[in-house]
């Protein structure tokens, strides 16, 4: 055996032939399959029942029964279809959202190499049991929790579990977690836990819990309960007053039922569904895929954005950013693994004599390297270069290419490797030996500064070593991962190779990091402008977290609550009295992420959590809005999330929040419009008889008005564009009622104006001996159509042509109710002459002007022009 082969061989460990097939079968029967047990699926009928027991839906179901009782089958069909569509959409979204736990099973390796009875065989991961002997190598997904018995340069990517962006070196005796990926080396491990007992299983237990209703669902449920009670009381009052006045029992029963239908905005679920669906479609166009429709609105309520670091605030790829040599220091531009960028010295392009020491250093790092860069694939989803092997070593290859060093393929020919001493956690350095043009061998070494900047390794003066150590400490304090690089020449191949690690010349230091994305700071500034508090939760080192947070201006804004970086250990030990006072968390585990989210929610905040790894799954599931990275995220994160970002850009979350506020504004605008109209109809039926209008409106007329206002124009309101300044106002208070923030005052004012104008038109027509009931019918409809146009945030916008078209269609159908003989007979109306029509249509401007006036009123505590919190601007 050569010296090189001896250095590369794993250390001797205990021999094991593995379990026999009989013993494995017995253990499988005892422990069950190596799968994450999914929650028992909810039966379809229970899902449907849960949708139908929503208070507002129950009101609509009651309206169906009532309309059937009075023989109004068309209205009953319309309302029934609204209930059907709403229930179908809700059930479908819920089924999709419940797939998160199932994705954990899909993440585990489908097959694994296992040694049984002395032979290595390929088995389904589900059949692995505790005590099995796993054989793992580069690229393998670890199938179960295990303890390494043999390890040769094993490097494991644990980011999906820990959030740590840098792969972890593993030696004999170290543990491997299910779902992690071996990026380098080979090893043999003894399985210690499978299925629900594994790391993935424990995360699944945190994820396996039912979702709570969204803020919109809670608000609509409360509204439905209030609306049902108030409507019932008022309709009973109208019914009783009619009987007192001596009107027929049947007539008043039908009228009371019609009022009940009119008072309930039965198109609200349709408006909500349309607004959410349109919002989801617009979000998809802006690279945000919505998995649960209610999440669209919830985004508009977000007051806290908890973001991870790797791939969200940062590029998610290691990059050499700074190089220090005894002769020159340089910054490297460019991101990712693309070999595009420049070497900058003091802010200018490096000159030829300055590039020489940089190329010498980076050539050594390219030789002392086991990674491979893959050129951009035209068919790749992100169109970026990829790396095979240690991300840090891949970043070194990229840096070498940026400075004009020979390509790895050329180096392998001109400087073939003849020996190596792999990196391990004890030596904390790696060295390789290469043939040169002459008789000697080139020694290339890289490693942790404390393992290289040593007089036992380097031939350097004390002052030179002190200078290098000071520079390394400075770079590490800035959050960089620092490597020291050295080289030398030997006459022959030493045995072992590690004997060559002495008397070397220091070439310099390399500082690597996962750099922040270019627009991350601006995105967080946009969040703050919208009243959203951003916080960073990462599994990375505190120094790295602090450096990134400082770079994106997450800390250092003069906020006393910025504080210092808090670690997961601090959270677990209870050393943080108020988790909501912290802006940066490092070294967190899945349970601590849950604790942080829960702390904010207990304070009344609406939380959004971003993530891409398995470790993010529980927090994504628990937050009010879970946001997963679509390009680089795991399937577990995507399934647990409400929103998936196809471009992995945090700025897309801000765009989604803007869309969510638009949806909520439109829903509130419809409620003000629809409920003010319903209230006006009830008030007219109560006040009209007192003013000498015995039965102001008949049942059919009430239902026709209701159909045109709520059905056509009401649904069109769901497509209205965003209000100006929507992202310059704070999030609405989490406990605010859906009609809070001045909405109920607008509702009452509009109801009063519509009632007054309509009754005034009816009384004027009565005085002129016109068909006053038909005038009142048309006046009430015209006033409500005026209101719907007046409530528009952007009066002359062309972004929603459906609303003016629906107003036009409603006007034509109102005319049809008067002038088409069949409809006139059914609705008991009379054709109007120009005088009667003019009196009625004059109510439209009254409704329009009132709506424009109240749009800018009733903004408690909001400065003029600030946009308020009403959502009606």
DSSP 727: G
3-state secondary structure (DSSP) of residue 533? strand
CB 777 within 8 Å of CB 697: yes
Measure the N-to-C terminal CA separation of the chain; round to a whole number of Å: 81
Is 308 an annotated catalytic residue?
yes
**C-alpha–C-alpha distance, residues 127 and 141, integer Å:** 15
Measuring CA to CA, which residue among 284, 278, 269, 291 is closest to residue 211? 291
Residue 235 CB burial class (10 angstroms; 0-12, 13-18, ≥19): buried
CB 147 within 8 Å of CB 132: no
What's the count of helices (H) and strands (E) in the chain, helices before strands? 32, 26
Query: Angle, to 10 degrees, between the axis of helix 391-402 and the axis of helix 352-367?
Result: 150
Cis amide linkage into residue 496, ω under 30° from 0:
yes
What Rg do the C-alpha atoms of the chain give, in angstroms?
A: 35
CB 786 within 8 Å of CB 844: yes
**C-alpha–C-alpha distance, residues 624 and 113, integer Å:** 41
What contacts 725, CB < 8 A, 6 or more positions away? 866, 867, 873
3-state secondary structure (DSSP) of residue 446? strand
3-state secondary structure (DSSP) of residue 198? coil
Q: How far is CA 561 from the centre of its chain?
A: 25
**C-alpha–C-alpha distance, residues 867 and 816, integer Å:** 40
3-state secondary structure (DSSP) of residue 50? helix
530 φψ region: left (φ > 0), alpha (ψ -120 to 50), beta (else): alpha
Asked whether the CA dihedral 398, 403, 404, 406 is positive or negative, the reply is negative
3-state secondary structure (DSSP) of residue 791? coil
Measuring CA to CA, which residue among 787, 781, 714, 707 is closest to residue 746? 787
CB 165 within 8 Å of CB 515: no
**C-alpha–C-alpha distance, residues 204 and 125, integer Å:** 17
**C-alpha–C-alpha distance, residues 148 and 135, integer Å:** 10
What contacts 861, CB < 8 A, 6 or more positions away? none
H/E/C letters for each residue in 370-393?
CCEEECCCCCCCCCCCEEECCHHH
Residue 503 CB burial class (10 angstroms; 0-12, 13-18, ≥19): middle
Q: Which of 7, 169, 308, 424 is catalytic?
A: 308
**C-alpha–C-alpha distance, residues 183 and 169, integer Å:** 10
**DSSP track, 41-58:** PPPHHHHHHHHHTSHHHH
Distances (CA, A) of 810 to 286, 593, 675, 747, 813: 34, 52, 18, 22, 5
Question: Residue 17, Cβ neighbours under 10 Å: how many?
Answer: 11
3-state secondary structure (DSSP) of residue 322? strand
**C-alpha–C-alpha distance, residues 517 and 540, integer Å:** 17
Indicate which residues carry an active-site annotation.
308
């Amino acid at each position: 055996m050569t010296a090189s082969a001896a250095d590369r061989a794993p250390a001797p460990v205990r021999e094991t032939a593995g379990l026999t097939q009989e013993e494995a079968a017995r253990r499988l029967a005892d422990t069950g399959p190596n799968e994450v047990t999914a929650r028992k699926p909810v039966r379809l009928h229970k899902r449907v029942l849960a949708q139908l027991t929503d208070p507002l839906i129950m009101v609509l179901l009651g309206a169906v029964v009532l309309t059937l009782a009075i023989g109004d089958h068309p209205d009953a069909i319309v309302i029934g279809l609204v209930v059907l569509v709403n229930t179908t959409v809700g059930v479908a979204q819920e089924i999709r959202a419940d797939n998160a736990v199932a994705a954990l099973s899909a993440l585990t390796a489908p097959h694994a190499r296992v040694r049984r009875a002395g032979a290595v065989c390929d088995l389904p991961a589900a059949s692995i049991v505790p005590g099995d002997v796993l054989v793992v190598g580069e690229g393998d997904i670890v199938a179960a929790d295990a303890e390494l018995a043999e390890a040769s340069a094993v490097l494991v990517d644990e980011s999906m579990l820990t959030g740590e962006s840098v792969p972890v070196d593993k030696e004999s005796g170290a543990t491997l977690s299910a779902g992690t990926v071996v990026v380098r080396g080979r090893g043999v491990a003894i399985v210690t836990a499978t299925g629900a007992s594994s790391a993935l299983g424990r995360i699944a237990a945190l994820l396996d819990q039912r979702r709570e209703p969204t803020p919109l669902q809670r608000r609509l449920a409360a509204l439905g309960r209030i609306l049902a009670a108030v409507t019932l009381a008022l309709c009973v009052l109208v019914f009783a007053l009619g009987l007192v006045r001596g009107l027929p029992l049947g007539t008043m029963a039908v009228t009371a039922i019609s009022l009940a239908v009119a008072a309930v905005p039965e198109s609200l679920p349709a408006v909500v569904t349309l607004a959410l669906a349109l919002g989801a479609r617009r979000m998809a166009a802006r690279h945000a895929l919505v998995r649960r429709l209610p999440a669209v609105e919830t985004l508009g309520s977000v007051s806290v954005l908890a973001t991870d670091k790797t791939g969200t605030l940062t590029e998610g790829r290691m990059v050499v950013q700074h190089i220090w040599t005894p002769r020159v220091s340089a910054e490297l531009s460019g991101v990712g693994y693309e070999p595009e960028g420049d070497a900058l010295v003091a802010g200018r392009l490096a000159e030829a004599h300055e590039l020489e020491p940089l190329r010498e250093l980076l050539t050594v790092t390219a030789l002392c390297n086991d990674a491979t860069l893959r050129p951009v694939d035209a068919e790749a989803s992100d169109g970026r270069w990829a790396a095979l092997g240690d991300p840090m070593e891949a970043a070194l290859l990229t840096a070498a290419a940026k400075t004009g060093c020979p390509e790895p393929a050329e180096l392998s020919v001109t400087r073939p490797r003849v020996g190596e001493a792999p990196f391990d956690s004890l030596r904390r350095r790696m060295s390789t030996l290469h043939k040169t043009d002459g008789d000697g061998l080139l020694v290339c070494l890289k490693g942790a500064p404390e393992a290289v900047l040593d007089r036992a390794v380097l031939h350097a003066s004390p002052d030179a070593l002190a200078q290098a150590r000071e520079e390394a400490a400075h770079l590490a304090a800035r959050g960089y991962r620092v490597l020291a690089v050295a080289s030398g020449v030997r006459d022959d191949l030493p045995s072992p190779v590690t004997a060559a690690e002495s008397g070397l010349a220091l070439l310099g230091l390399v500082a690597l990091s996962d750099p922040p994305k270019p627009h991350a700071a601006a995105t967080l500034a946009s969040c703050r402008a919208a009243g959203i508090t951003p916080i960073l939760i990462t599994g990375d080192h505190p120094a790295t977290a602090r450096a990134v947070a400082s770079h994106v201006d997450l800390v250092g804004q003069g906020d006393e609550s910025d504080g210092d970086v808090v670690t997961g250990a601090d959270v677990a030990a209870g050393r943080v009295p108020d988790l909501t006072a912290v802006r940066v968390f490092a070294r967190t585990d899945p349970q601590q992420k849950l604790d942080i989210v829960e702390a904010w929610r207990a304070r009344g905040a609406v939380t959004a959590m971003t993530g891409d790894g398995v470790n993010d799954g529980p927090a994504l599931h628990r937050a009010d809005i879970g946001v997963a990275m679509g390009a680089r995220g795991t399937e577990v994160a995507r399934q647990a999330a409400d929103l998936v970002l196809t471009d992995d850009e945090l700025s897309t979350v801000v765009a989604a929040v803007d869309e969510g506020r638009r949806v909520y504004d439109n829903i509130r605008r419809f409620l003000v419009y629809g409920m003010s109209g319903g209230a006006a109809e009830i008030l007219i039926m109560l006040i009209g008889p007192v003013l000498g209008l015995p039965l102001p409106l008949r049942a059919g007329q009430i239902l026709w008005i209701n159909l045109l206002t709520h059905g056509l124009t009401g649904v069109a309101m769901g497509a209205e564009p965003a209000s100006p300044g929507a992202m310059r106002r704070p999030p609405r208070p989490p406990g605010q009622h859906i009609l809070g923030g001045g909405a109920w005052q607008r509702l009452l004012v509009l109801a009063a104006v519509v009632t007054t104008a309509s009754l005034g038109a009816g009384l004027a027509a009565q005085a002129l001996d016109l068909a006053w009931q038909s005038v009142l019918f048309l006046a009430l409809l015209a006033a409500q159509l005026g209101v719907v146009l007046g409530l528009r945030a952007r009066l002359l916008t062309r972004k929603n042509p459906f609303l003016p078209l629906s107003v036009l269609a409603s006007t034509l159908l109102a005319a049809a109710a008067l002038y088409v003989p069949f409809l006139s007979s059914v609705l008991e109306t009379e054709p109007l002459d120009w005088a009667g029509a003019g009196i009625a249509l004059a109510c439209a401007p009254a409704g329009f002007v009132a709506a424009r006036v109240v749009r800018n009123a009733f903004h408690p505590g909001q400065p003029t022009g600030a946009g308020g919190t009403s959502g009606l601007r």
